[in-house]
Amino acid sequence: QAVQQEELIETTPEWEGGRHYGSRIVFDKDNYLFFSNGDRGDTPSNAQDLTNSHGKIHRIHDDGRIPSDNPFVNEPNAIKSIWTYGNRNPQGLVYDKANDRVWEAEHGPMGGDELNLIEKGKNYGWPVITYGQNYDGTPITDITEKEGMEQPVTYYVPSIATCGMTIVTSDKYPAWKGDILIGALAKMHINRVDMEGTKALSQEVMLQDIGRVRQVSESPDGYLYAITEGTGLLVKLIPIR
């Protein structure tokens, strides 16, 4: 039973509709709380509007206070909790403790899912730039890059429907150490991004058709686990010696 519930922050404006809520929360080493919030779907331009909470990654103290060094605290009418903007629908968020950085995976439209390194005050481009298109096949924009907007570390065409993610830190998987594992909903696999620092070298599809992978996590004992919906599996990845 949940007790002593406390509302820390409210995203505004209130928005009707049932999609692109974001939904991920992580803490960093200084106990700042980062949370993702999608663009709400029907109005993609929300993501570029600093007076609007939607389509953003936010950063607050664990008691709901706004950090004084957030990037837009002195911007007139801006939402003070915003850490980054131009994020369509962030479904994955993970804190890289070893390197003190935050990674995010977000759904594109039809194509254009992204893996992003989340950095203070940066604009990740949605819907001005994207590698995806509308679901009816028409273009959203005719550009995939623009000055002042971040490029994804890697992206997915067609979409895999990125979801929960983790960074491999365990010695149990030496060949994967530092790599990022992302659950795929639509494509029903685990996507391993072979990383060299902050650079993505390649992608590997693992455990194809195990179901819609909602979350991939590394446990305190160093093993990797994934949980699926539809097939209802809890999967443990055991290294072959």
DSSP secondary-structure letter at 135?
T
Q: Which residues contact 174 (CB under 8 A, 6 or more apart)?
A: none
- Cα angle 215, 220, 224 (rounded to 5 degrees) comes to 40
Residue 61 annotated as catalytic: no
Nearest one of 79, 66, 229 to 161, comparing CA atoms: 229
The structure tokens listed for 135 are: 């679901």
Q: Is 2 exposed, middle or buried (0-12, 13-18, 19+ CB in 10 A)?
A: exposed
Catalytic residue among 20, 58, 107, 189: 20
Using CA atoms, how far residue 93 sits from 33, 58, 124, 237, in Å, is 11, 12, 15, 21
Using CA atoms, how far residue 120 sits from 42, 75, 117, 160, 212, in Å, is 26, 14, 10, 27, 31
Catalytic residue positions, numbered: 20
